Structure 1
Amino acid sequence: MGVPSKDEMAKALLGPPLAHSRPLVLLLREPWLIPILILAVGARLYQLTAASIWGDEGSSLLLAQYAPSGIWFHAARDVHPPLYFVLLHYWTALFGDSILSIRLMSAVPGVLTVFLGTWLVYLTSTRRAALLACLLLALLPTAVRYSQEIRMYSLMCVWLMGATLALVHWVRAPRRARYLAIYVVLMAAGFYTHYFTALCVLAHWLYLLVLRLQAEHPCHCITRPGWWLANVAIVVLYLPWLPGLLDLVRHWEALKVGGDVDWEPAITAGSLPSMLWQLLAQDDGENMPWWLFVSVPLLVLAVCLSTAWSDRSRYRFDLMMVIYSVLPLSVVFAISLVSPIFIERYLTAYALGLAILFALTIDRLARRSRVLAAGLLGVVLVVFGLGLKNNYTVDPNDQFSAMVDYVNQHAVAGDRVVLGDMFWYLTYGYYDRVGVQMLLFTPPSADGTSTRPNEYGFGTLIDQQAGVYLDSLELLPEGNGRAWLVMSREAPDEFPSIPGAWREVARHAGGDTQAVLYDTCHPVCRSR
């Protein structure tokens, strides 16, 4: 017997294009699946606890401390639905609230999403495309990042990728109602996790409309009663949350006052390319040469157009992924022309489609030119590698937690901590080990109006009667004569004026913040 050729070895590993009837068990037998999933696990566990918890994560932890009924009430006044916080509540009850534990609740769904995306491509394309999709989903920088954050974005990826997978099964076998039942449950879970799930619904409807309108072999799934009943079922399951959502809409101005919405700057012509750079490389690209700044967005555009043009299959599954990726980006960009909501983490679930589109394109190129396919794969891996490097670049000694640890070590009974920003207030309590009294500095604005948070947005997490707010440093109770002011490190304008009798004793920085210890006693006080 002769030595097998490269073609024969590739065929032995990757096999022929998949028949649509291949069951899940064959995917589980693939020799490359477990190693790449282990890579996905490693990518999400590496540096998992290195970065300090930040404001959004702190709000997740505060909200998860309530009982489910309290979570339902307060989430209705926040900008996100309740499901993630309810699950986090039970997760911490079972596994504790260490930073490793609570971030694992995002890492686990992150790995599950890689598997679901791989399964989706395995059903609709070739084994090689599935292998490539698995690899790129495992390393997609935005997916890795939000698999390491105590927020709902990784969980949202599971629901939407799972629902898309269920839709594919149903399109191939529309008589099997169980796929629609699974779709209903997953989409309802998505809506209870993040409002941007609506974009996935739009993508799925547009995809089915395209199938119905195609000249050859039109697919009538969009007109089937089962599809309409499934969407009605999703709405019915969502009805319990509707009163809270409508109340939130009515109090939209209250969210603006608290800075919980409309904080994103207005978009520009460069916002879309910048978003693609953020999703793929965790870099906004603003400091790049113009030719480099437009290169990756143009590559993404070419991949989407070529995939849509070349897909002549009956069910247009490749085109479905183009719609899944492009439609949400386009809709959110258009809405942001009026009200800025063009935020990377909100679109992470749809960026998964970009990784899959790269895999499909590389697989398609490999049938014509292995050199071109290898070149494109190399470019994508370099961009992803840059993104992972940016994700992992964390100095554990220059973190907000290090600053709080310094206060923990040097605080004495009766010390107060005055925080100049709501985000720091949400985070500080997690790291506090000495039980200092925490106050939030809320000086009146120039026209005399209060800057205290209202009962919507992050303000819902603060008891309005708990004496947390401090409108002036002169009103700080005398206490033991010591106060820590937490302020910005570079431009500490949260406290524009410090009482003249206060004397700085010490300071310690952590990340972009610093804690400054003051002796607040007047001379008479110190002489006692």
Structure 2
Amino acid sequence: MRRSVVEQNEKVAALPAYSRLTWERAGWISRLWWVPIVALAMAVRFYQLTAAAIWGDEGSSLLLSEYAVGDLWFHAAHDVHPPLYFLILRGWIELFGDSIGSIRSMSAIPGVVAVGLGIWLTRQLSTRRAAVLAGVLLALLPTAVRYSQEVRMYSLLAVWLLGATLALVYWVRNPERTRYLAMYVVLMSAGFYTHYFTALCVLVHWAYLGVLWRTQPRGQRLLARPAWWLSNSVIVLLYLPWLPNLLDLVQHVEQLKVGGDIGWEDPVGLLSLPSMIWQFVLQDEGVGFWAPLFWAFPMLLAGIVGVTVWRDREHYRPASLLALFLLVPLLLVYGVSFVSPVFIERYLTVYALGLPILVALAIDRLPSRLAWLGAALFVLFVGVELVGLKNNFTVDEHDQFNVPVEFVNRNYQEDDRIVLSDMMWYLSYVYYDQTDAQLQLYTPPKPDGTPTRPNAYGFGTLVDQDGGRIYLDRLSALPAETRRVWLISSNEAPDDFAPLPEGWRELSRQDGGGARARLFVLCNVASAQPEGCR
């Protein structure tokens, strides 16, 4: 009996210790609440990662990454983007190869990291519940998913700019800890070496400190702190090696317009702004929608943003920061586009990440009696995003650009010629080409004799140094001994190559991804008639 009592006392004494251990374990698990959200972001971004074929912009990334570092710096300087992404892509390919899964993973992984940073930023600005809501909405945001699946710099840019914004938030709360500004300098400098639209983020951050100016006592205003000005000066100093290249590019804007690298976007109008919102969340411009619906959803989101900012009474104005992050780039680029159209979704997709975070903040701040409204808004936004993801993932693998290219690869014969009608086809064709042919770009002069050959700026910098071998102004200028020619062009009328020289007979064709590959046999050659002419 005495032994039984002792055992019972030992068990009772052990209960508190067991309870503490269980609580600590539960606490450790609860700190990983963000893991399922990041897993969702990863699943969405790696789903069908290789389904769509490489397109022209991606092809240009790959061609740039093939250059040695010194040459890459030069050609990036003549392109419309800074060099950092292409340098990283070059190293990535050396490590992991250039399969489509590998090269697109270099965008998918930063896309997932950006979601994690968005969750982290939201948690610093608001509650855990808001961070969970924001994480789900960010993970599913169609524009972010789309540009996390392309061999371009947009998801990497999101990492730099969200990271810099997070560093700024930490510094605002702890102005004496200059290590946050040091991290800010590194991240913003990386952003500037990745995309020129990083300048818009600078405006956002300065505007945010301007908003805080009124709430801070004289002598403690962050915007006037020497450390802030010094940090921005260091960013400028770090950018000086690239600045001459940017100025040179500005001086050659007209050459970029001639090459079609800028100025190709349609002029903006009244519908452009709501259309951009639809593109962010639905991957559809919405111009064919019922008019009340077309306006209703963007106006609803505008109302949510407006009310959230109006009710923003917290000391550090988190809603104001997020609204500036979304609206300043969007409205500024929209305004500039009335003069020079640059209102392009992919250039702004990093700033679109502010929208789902703002929606999450709005839902989280609703009083408990309006919880049903918050649930409805969340379900509505997620529903629209899911439709947008469906639009993203609707890919016919049998109707992609690689289909006609692979058709040429299978049927290619030695000494065949391959001629492409457009630079964008050329850039993506190079990736899939498995022949030994010298690819040529068709550059017929305009009716007034004006040449259409690319110049040394924009995409032209990737081929101009070999222009003597690549450019073909007339099909009749092909070598006299040519027997078979592959023509790669759009599959829509009019024919990019019309009129064809006399004596050309089509043997076969293959369409895919808006392109058409046609095999012609030249029946007017002086030597023995090729097969297919008799």
TM-score by length of 1: 0.93
**Corresponding residue of 2:47:** 46
Give 1:493 shift.
3.1
Q: Residue 311 of structure 1 aligns to a residue in which SS?
A: coil
- Alignment equivalent of 1:481, drawn from 455, 480, 483: 483
Listed as ranges, the matches of 1:145-224 within 5 Å are 145-214=146-215, 220-224=221-225
**Corresponding residue of 1:238:** 239
Give 1:456 shift.
0.5
Q: Is the 8 A contact 1:419 1:425 kept in 2?
A: yes
**Corresponding residue of 2:94:** 93
Give 1:465 shift.
4.4
Give 1:478 shift.
3.4
**Corresponding residue of 2:69:** 68
Q: Is the 8 A contact 1:27 1:122 kept in 2?
A: no
Listed as ranges, the matches of 1:318-467 within 5 Å are 318-365=319-366, 367-462=368-463, 463-467=465-469
**Corresponding residue of 1:36:** 37
| Cα distance per residue 1:200-259 (max 9 Å; x no partner) | 000100010010024889961111100000000000000000111111111111111111
Q: Is the 8 A contact 1:329 1:347 kept in 2?
A: yes
Q: Which amino acid aligns with 1:256?
A: K
**Corresponding residue of 2:81:** 80
Q: Is the 8 A contact 2:523 2:529 kept in 1?
A: no
Q: Which amino acid aligns with 1:381?
A: V
**Corresponding residue of 2:502:** 500
Give 1:464 shift.
3.8
Structure 2 distance, partners of 1:30, 1:139, is 22
Give 1:496 shift.
2.3
The 3 A distance-change label for structure 1 pair 63 and 319 is: same
Q: Which amino acid aligns with 2:31?
A: E
Give 1:295 shift.
1.6
Listed as ranges, the matches of 1:289-328 within 5 Å are 289-328=290-329
Give 1:433 shift.
1.2
| Cα distance per residue 1:257-303 (max 9 Å; x no partner) | 11111000100110000011001110000111111111221012111
**Corresponding residue of 2:24:** none
Structure 1 distance, partners of 2:126, 2:151, is 34
Q: Which amino acid aligns with 1:510?
A: G
| Cα distance per residue 1:30-57 (max 9 Å; x no partner) | 3431111111000000010000000000
Q: Which amino acid aligns with 1:494?
A: D
Give 1:28 shift.
8.6
Structure 1 distance, partners of 2:401, 2:60, is 15
Q: Which amino acid aligns with 1:342?
A: F
The 3 A distance-change label for structure 1 pair 477 and 28 is: farther
**Corresponding residue of 2:255:** 254
Q: Residue 487 of structure 2 aligns to a residue in which SS?
A: strand
Q: Is the 8 A contact 1:416 1:438 kept in 2?
A: yes
Q: Is the 8 A contact 2:204 2:325 kept in 1?
A: yes
Structure 1 distance, partners of 2:282, 2:481, is 49
Structure 2 distance, partners of 1:81, 1:366, is 46
Q: Is the 8 A contact 2:89 2:103 kept in 1?
A: yes
Gaps of 5+ in 2: 1-26
Structure 2 distance, partners of 1:216, 1:527, is 90
Q: Is the 8 A contact 1:80 1:195 kept in 2?
A: yes
**Corresponding residue of 1:111:** 112
**Corresponding residue of 2:10:** none
Q: Which amino acid aligns with 2:504?
A: W
Q: Which amino acid aligns with 2:502?
A: G
Q: Residue 73 of structure 2 aligns to a residue in which SS?
A: helix
Give 1:364 shift.
1.6
Structure 1 distance, partners of 2:264, 2:106, is 28
Listed as ranges, the matches of 1:124-135 within 5 Å are 124-135=125-136
Q: Is the 8 A contact 1:366 1:373 kept in 2?
A: no
Bigger-Rg structure (1/2): 2
Structure 1 distance, partners of 2:409, 2:90, is 26
Structure 1 distance, partners of 2:412, 2:277, is 45
Structure 2 distance, partners of 1:490, 1:122, is 50
Give 1:365 shift.
2.4
| Cα distance per residue 1:385-431 (max 9 Å; x no partner) | 11101110000111000111111111111111110000011111110
- Identical counterparts, % of pairs: 56
- Alignment equivalent of 1:490, drawn from 483, 489, 492: 492
Q: Which amino acid aligns with 1:496?
A: A
Q: Residue 365 of structure 1 aligns to a residue in which SS?
A: coil
Q: Is the 8 A contact 2:503 2:523 kept in 1?
A: yes
Structure 2 distance, partners of 1:319, 1:103, is 34
The 3 A distance-change label for structure 1 pair 86 and 424 is: same
Give 1:324 shift.
0.7
Q: Residue 240 of structure 2 aligns to a residue in which SS?
A: helix
Give 1:381 shift.
0.7
Q: Residue 449 of structure 1 aligns to a residue in which SS?
A: coil
Structure 1 distance, partners of 2:403, 2:164, is 41
| Cα distance per residue 1:43-94 (max 9 Å; x no partner) | 0000100000000000000000011111110011000000000000000000
Structure 2 distance, partners of 1:386, 1:217, is 50
Q: Residue 490 of structure 1 aligns to a residue in which SS?
A: coil
Q: Residue 48 of structure 1 aligns to a residue in which SS?
A: coil
The 3 A distance-change label for structure 1 pair 222 and 467 is: same
Q: Is the 8 A contact 1:415 1:437 kept in 2?
A: no
TM-score by length of 2: 0.92
| Cα distance per residue 1:366-395 (max 9 Å; x no partner) | 634121111101110111011101110000
| Cα distance per residue 1:319-367 (max 9 Å; x no partner) | 1001110110010001001000000000011000001011111112263
Structure 2 distance, partners of 1:358, 1:465, is 51
Q: Which moved more, 1:416-425 or 1:472-481?
A: 472-481
